Structures are given as C-alpha cells and as structure tokens.
Amino acid sequence: MSSESRTYSFKIFSILTYALSIYGEVRYFLFRTHHSRSYLTPFTGNSTLDYIYVIATLLLQLLFVVQYFSQDGTVSAREQKNVLEQVGYHFSIYNVLNFIWVYLFKHKRFLFAEIVLFVNLFNLLSLYFIHKTYAIKDLGRWFTIHLSTVALPLSWIQYAIFWNGAALFHSHYVSLLPRLLANLLIWEFLLVPAFFIVVFADYGVGFSSSYLTLSIAVGQLLTKVIGLQWIFGFVIAGTIFLLSLLVSTGVLAGKVANNNNVLGSDREQAPLLT
C-alpha cells in the first residue's frame, strides 16, 4: 500500500468510526433513561452535566476530524500525516470501543462493558505516554488534538469505569458497606488527575476531571442528600479545578517544568506534534 493510500485509509476509517461513536451516543446514551435503579450508584453523576460533557467532546472531536482536510500554513503536510497516523489510530480505536460500551451499558451488560472500558483506558494511556500529546505547544492544536482525543476521553473513561463498576457490583445505596467503599474510592478522582497535572502540567485532564467530579457531586446531592459522597465530590472538584487553574495560568509553571525536565524533556520527544 502506498503512502497516499495509507493516509487516505486512515482518514476514511477515522471518519467512519467517529460517525459510529456519534450514532452510539445518540442512540444508546444521550437523553436515555440511565438513571433507573440499575444505574443509580454512588458514582452516578447529574444527567444534564453528563450530556453537556459528551456533546462538547463530540464537537471538539469534530474539529480534530476537520483538521485532516484543513490547509494551515503553520503545519506541514508531514506533520498532518504524523498526527493522522499516530493519533488517528488511537482515536479510531477509542470510537469503536466507545460505541461497544454505550451499547453494552444501555443493555445492562455491565461486566463486558467494564472490560471494554479497561481496554479503552489502555488505548488512551498508550496514546498519552507514547505520543505525548500533552506536550503540544500551540494552543489551537492542543485543543484540537490533545483535549479532544486524549484529555476529555481519558477523564470520561475514568468516570465511566467507576459508574459502570458500581452498577456491576449492585452498589445501589442498599447497604452501608458499598457506600463506605465509595466514600474511599471517590478520592481516586483527586489522586489521578493531580498526578497528570503535577507531573505533566496537563490541566486539560484536570479541568475535565473536575467537571465530571462536579457532576457526581451534583448527582449525589440530588439523589442522596444525607451522605458524604456529594460533600467529597464538591471538595475534590474544587481542589482539582484550583490546581488546574494555577498550572494553566503559570502560577505553578516553574515547579511543573522541573518535573518535566526530570522526566526527560517530553516536549522534545513528542514526534512532530508540537
């Protein structure tokens, strides 16, 4: 297969899988009844906030697909090809797995859905650590590449793993033990985003994780007001938001830069994405 044919195939596959992901979200997730008893868990967020997040992600991903065909004088054809082959490959896998997950989640096949989520998590982490999209310097390309295909999906997968997992183990506010366990596990929504923010200066993951944790807090407040989950959710969302804000505005830029230097100059290693 020639280089041109391979590039064309990548474009077509990305577009088709993106359309498949949209179909899955509209058909099986958006504005559906995911707040019946089977879906109500200590990690169930507010449906309105969840829908806004999903729609925003799809719109940003549309920009990623459109940039395949845009002519930007600041970006060479070789750079565009590298983005397509390096990021587009993982993007297409994410779309296919996302469709499978929403289908399984809708039909309450929580065990298989959880397996799909972990496979997709591995896919996104591979994209994150191998191609280092967080190191893109140009803000516009950072939005269209990193935020749309890595940061927002990664935060969503983390959220979905806990929501789907709680549904899998029938954690529906029935007994005390699952609620206490959820009160402990929710702090993972602080630890993981904080790691990405402090080590990689990735405030994209920070802001998106903060938003989804806020969704959990609001959802729990409206579902079970007598409990700790929504209190912890608001505390975690506020903490991650503040940390992300400090990094994005440069207040903590020096300390984060030192961490990046220790890790080996990631910005220079990001192949043709900066």
| Domain range list for the chain | 3-269
pLDDT given for residue 194 in this prediction: 97
Task: Report whether pLDDT(225) > 90.
Answer: no
Name the residue type at position 218. V
Per-residue buried b or exposed e for 62-98, using 16+ beta carbons within 10 Å of the residue's own CB: eebbebbeeeeeebeeebbbbbbebbbbbbbbbbbbb
Q: How confident is the model at residue 77 (pLDDT cuts 50, 70, 90)?
A: low
- Extract long-range pairs of 257-261: CB within 8 Å, 24+ residues apart: 257/201, 259/198, 259/199, 259/200, 259/201, 260/199, 260/200, 260/201
Q: Cβ-count burial of 265 within 10 angstroms (0-12 exposed, 13-18 middle, 19+ buried)?
A: exposed
- Tell me which of 119 and 32 has the higher pLDDT: 119
Decide if 132 contacts 201 (C-beta within 8 A). Answer: no
Q: Which residue has the tokens 């079970």?
A: 224
pLDDT given for residue 98 in this prediction: 97
Name the residue type at position 62. L
Calculate mean pLDDT across residues 115-120: 98
Per-residue pLDDT tens over the stretch 56-72? 999 999 999 998 777 66
Q: What value, to the nearest 5°, has the Cα angle with vertex 135 and ends 134 and 138?
A: 100
What mean pLDDT value characterizes the chain? Answer: 87
Q: How confident is the model at residue 152 (pLDDT cuts 50, 70, 90)?
A: very high
Decide if 236 contacts 185 (C-beta within 8 A). Answer: no
pLDDT given for residue 255 in this prediction: 53
Task: Report whether pLDDT(231) > 70.
Answer: yes
pTM over 0.85, yes/no: yes
3-state secondary structure at position 218: helix
Return left, alpha or beta for 157; rule: phi > 0 is left, psi -120 to 50 is alpha, else beta: alpha
Decide if 189 contacts 216 (C-beta within 8 A). Answer: yes
Find the length of the chain: 274
Per-residue pLDDT tens over the stretch 78-89? 777 778 878 989
